[in-house]
Structure 1
Amino acid sequence: MQTVFIYDGSFEGLLTAIFEVYELKSDTVHIVTNAHYTASFFEEKHEVATNTQKAKRLWKGILKNAKPTDANLIYRCFLSELPDMEQSILKYVQLIFLHKQSVAKDFGEAYVFRLAEINKKIGREKHRMEAFVRFRKTKDGIYFSSIAPDFNVLPLIESHFKKRYADQIWCIYDISRNYGLYYDLKKVEMVHLELPPSILSSSTSIFEEEELNYQKLWKNYFESTNITARANQKLHEQHVPRRYWKYLSEKNLLEW
């Protein structure tokens, strides 16, 4: 009978679940988050309590038997939040402990190939977020940006923005996952906010009027330099996919 390991959705929780798969010597296993669990008469249920020590022991074992490349791949693919991602990560970890070496390039294994393909998608999303995020200055002096990426890439873009905007107080908020990164000129921390609806629009009650005027000037410049007769919409959307237009001031799609 299959055993379902139910965890809280955190990365530490997933590592704890995989540790307990080995600890309990479970053979037929399915790992799922609390939010996606559906009870079945044909399965045994095992609830996983996130345990930092167990998570650290598994992580240490991964690094000991494989390479940082493998650990990085596991973490990045976890951030994809794709259905059944836990199973692919479990199988990947099992391959590491079976072979006692890195399996990152063993593309003959279906689970390795799947994680490699997902990692490419994660990389593209990270790159686009770094390129397309636009800040707007609020009246209290914070440069604010709201995003809704396909994958949970905020942890991956933190370093980029901390280095690039080291002299500004900023906040990048993922409205689809309801958390953000806040930088206070010294450190970056994770925050959860109750955002008013007007934060997603060009509201003078939140943003500086000078900032809104700058956006209008930028949009006018963009329109004036665009040569309609030479427009190649298909090529344009290849470089700047339509789903990213909502981040760009020049597209005038701030309300979404």
Structure 2
Amino acid sequence: MKTTLIYDGSFEGFLSSVFHVYEYNLDDVSIIKKENALVSLFGTEKVIDSDSHRAKRVWNGLSKKISTSGKRKLYKAFLSEILGIEDSMLHYIRYALSSSENVERDFSNRHILEIEKTVKKVNREKHRMDAFVRFRLTTDGIYFATIAPDFNVLPLNATHFKKRYADQNWLIYDLKRKYGIYYDLKNVKTVQLEISEAINTQKEAPNFFTLEEIQFQKLWGNYFKNSNIASRKNMRLHIKHIPKRYWKYLTEKNF
């Protein structure tokens, strides 16, 4: 009978679930987030509590079989939030731990291949966020930006923005997942906030951003509009490099 392990959606919770698989020697098992769990009529379900000690034991134990780069790929695959990715990760881990050789490049294994493909998608989204984030200065002196990426890449963007904007207080907020990363000139911290997408509308802008910032945004939008040469416009190429789903967060696209 199949066992479904239900966890809280955190990476620590996933690793705690992997620990449970090995602790009870489970064979036919699936790991799924609480928010995606459905009641099963033909199997058993077990809610797994996040346990930092157990999660750390699993993560450290993987170092014996998987390189640092390989572990990083597992984490990125987890951030994809693709339904069922936990099972592919579990198969990857089991295969790696049971093999006498490094299996990270064994793409004949469908789960390893799936992880590799997923990581490429996550990396692409991460780099797009590096390029497409647009900051605006709030009335309390914080440079603020919103995103809503296909994958949960915000943890991967922290280092890039910390290095690039080291002399500014900034906050990047994920509207889809309702959390952000905040830089206080020393450290990057994860913050939980409730911010409406209405913050991006021109109507609400005066309630959050400085007058100078609003004027600058309009100036930049007008410059972008007037500097384009209509006869040389290639929308197909433009959309290829800047997909339409990102346009609503680009200053130059909102004027």
What aligned pairs does 1:157-196 form with structure 2 within 5 A after superposition? 157-195=157-195
Q: TM-score, normalised by structure 2?
A: 0.96
* Higher mean C-alpha deviation, range 163-172 or range 96-105: 96-105
* Alpha-carbon distance between aligned partners in 1 of 2:30 and 2:4, rounded to the nearest angstrom: 5
Task: Assess if the C-alpha contact under 8 Å between 1:198 and 1:206 holds in 2.
Answer: no
Task: Assess if the C-alpha contact under 8 Å between 1:66 and 1:101 holds in 2.
Answer: no
Task: Assess if the C-alpha contact under 8 Å between 1:66 and 1:100 holds in 2.
Answer: no
**2:30 aligns to what?**
30
* Alpha-carbon distance between aligned partners in 1 of 2:10 and 2:169, rounded to the nearest angstrom: 28
- Aligned residue pairs total 253
- Return closer, same or farther for 1:28/1:17 CA change in 2, 3 Å cut-off: same
Q: TM-score, normalised by structure 1?
A: 0.96
2:210 maps to 1:208: yes
* Alpha-carbon distance between aligned partners in 1 of 2:196 and 2:28, rounded to the nearest angstrom: 46
Moved >6 Å (runs of 4+):
none
* Alpha-carbon distance between aligned partners in 2 of 1:14 and 1:197, rounded to the nearest angstrom: 30
* Alpha-carbon distance between aligned partners in 1 of 2:127 and 2:61, rounded to the nearest angstrom: 30
Structure 1 stretches lacking a partner, 5+ long:
none
What aligned pairs does 1:42-191 form with structure 2 within 5 A after superposition? 42-191=42-191
* Alpha-carbon distance between aligned partners in 2 of 1:160 and 1:211, rounded to the nearest angstrom: 23
* Alpha-carbon distance between aligned partners in 2 of 1:37 and 1:58, rounded to the nearest angstrom: 23
Give 2:237's match in structure 1, choosing from 217, 235, 238: 235
Q: Secondary structure at the match of 2:31?
A: strand
* Alpha-carbon distance between aligned partners in 2 of 1:85 and 1:227, rounded to the nearest angstrom: 45
* Alpha-carbon distance between aligned partners in 1 of 2:152 and 2:196, rounded to the nearest angstrom: 22
Task: Assess if the C-alpha contact under 8 Å between 1:70 and 1:102 holds in 2.
Answer: no
Task: Assess if the C-alpha contact under 8 Å between 1:133 and 1:248 holds in 2.
Answer: yes
- The C-alpha deviation readout for 1:185-230, integer Å capped at 9, x for no partner, is 1111111123256422231121011111111111111112101011
Structure 2 stretches lacking a partner, 5+ long:
none
Task: Assess if the C-alpha contact under 8 Å between 1:132 and 1:244 holds in 2.
Answer: yes
**2:249 aligns to what?**
247
Q: CA deviation at 1:101?
A: 3.9
The one-letter code sitting in structure 2 at the alignment partner of 1:187 is: N
Q: CA deviation at 1:103?
A: 2.1
Q: Secondary structure at the match of 1:90?
A: helix
Task: Assess if the C-alpha contact under 8 Å between 1:70 and 1:103 holds in 2.
Answer: no
* Alpha-carbon distance between aligned partners in 1 of 2:106 and 2:229, rounded to the nearest angstrom: 48
Q: CA deviation at 1:97?
A: 0.4
CA RMSD of aligned residues (A): 1.2
Q: Secondary structure at the match of 2:63?
A: helix
- Return closer, same or farther for 1:158/1:21 CA change in 2, 3 Å cut-off: same
